[in-house]
Chains A and B, each alone.
Chain A
Amino acid sequence: RKEVEQDPGPFNVPEGATVAFNCTYSNSASQSFFWYRQDCRKEPKLLMSVYSSGNEDGRFTAQLNRASQYISLLIRDSKLSDSATYLCVVSPSYGSSNTGKLIFGQGTTLQVKP
């Protein structure tokens, strides 16, 4: 079983739609959670961190459910420019050490259509 699992999609939605992605992680001791965005043939970039209380950044809302070990990303009022691959990322905890490593999910592809 992969440490971080995502539905690869693609998700094809019209402009203005609301779309949600989920991600599950296997290490219950994981400490930190993030969503990265990767445009086609480009490097990944941090979109937002995910906090236990949930957090919002404009049209983007991230939620964390530690009990069920899943993370979600909600995008409201989708724009053409939101078309990208969204990577779910987890910072694992191995015993008492934190190595700075991140575990990346395979990514979910979003295509927003006019």
Chain B
Amino acid sequence: DAGITQSPRYKITETGRQVTLMCHQTWSHSYMFWYRQDLGHGLRLIYYSAAADITDKGEVPDGYVVSRSKTENFPLTLESATRSQTSVYFCASSESHLAGAGEQYFGPGTRLTVT
């Protein structure tokens, strides 16, 4: 199906474990983003990517790693999960960085719980 998908949708893991959240989009959008959403903070940007092999830090990158070897995939890895990383993670994509092209398309989210 066309669109942007995330997997898994729900994940429970233990402190210290490595976890990878997957994001896949079928539009060939250049830009992809990872956000986390927590009560009291709204959506905060973790990492973003302007194209394959180009990534950059957002507002809250510590403890996360990303890669983008293919345009359609943008996995997010928690190298050693901590309880503070319990959150809802949204992946998004957009087709242009030009001013005014502000529509980002979001995936359904991954609810991650770190115990």
Residues of A participating in the B interface, judged by any CB pair closer than 8 Å: 31-34, 42-46, 49, 87, 89, 91, 93, 98-102, 104-107
Contacts A/B (CB < 8 Å), 10 sampled: A31-B99, A32-B99, A32-B101, A32-B102, A44-B106, A46-B104, A100-B50, A101-B48, A102-B102, A104-B42
- Which residues of B sit under 8 angstroms from A91, Cβ to Cβ? 99-100, 102
Total number of B residues with any Cβ neighbor in A under 8 Å: 28
Given known contacts A46-B103, A91-B102, A101 and B45 CB-to-CB distance under 8 angstroms? yes
B41 touches A106 (CB 8 A): yes
| Cβ contact of A93, chosen from B48, B99, B109, cutoff 8 A | B99
A98 touches B102 (CB 8 A): no
The smallest beta-carbon distance between B45 and chain A, in angstroms, is 6
- Which residues of B sit under 8 angstroms from A45, Cβ to Cβ? 106
Instruction: Provide the bound-state CA to CA distance between A106 and B104, in Å.
Output: 17
Given A87-B43, A104-B42, A106-B41, 16 more pairs with CB closer than 8 A: A33-B102, A42-B109, A43-B90, A44-B43, A44-B90, A46-B103, A99-B48, A99-B50, A100-B48, A100-B97, A101-B45, A102-B104, A104-B35, A104-B43, A105-B42, A107-B42
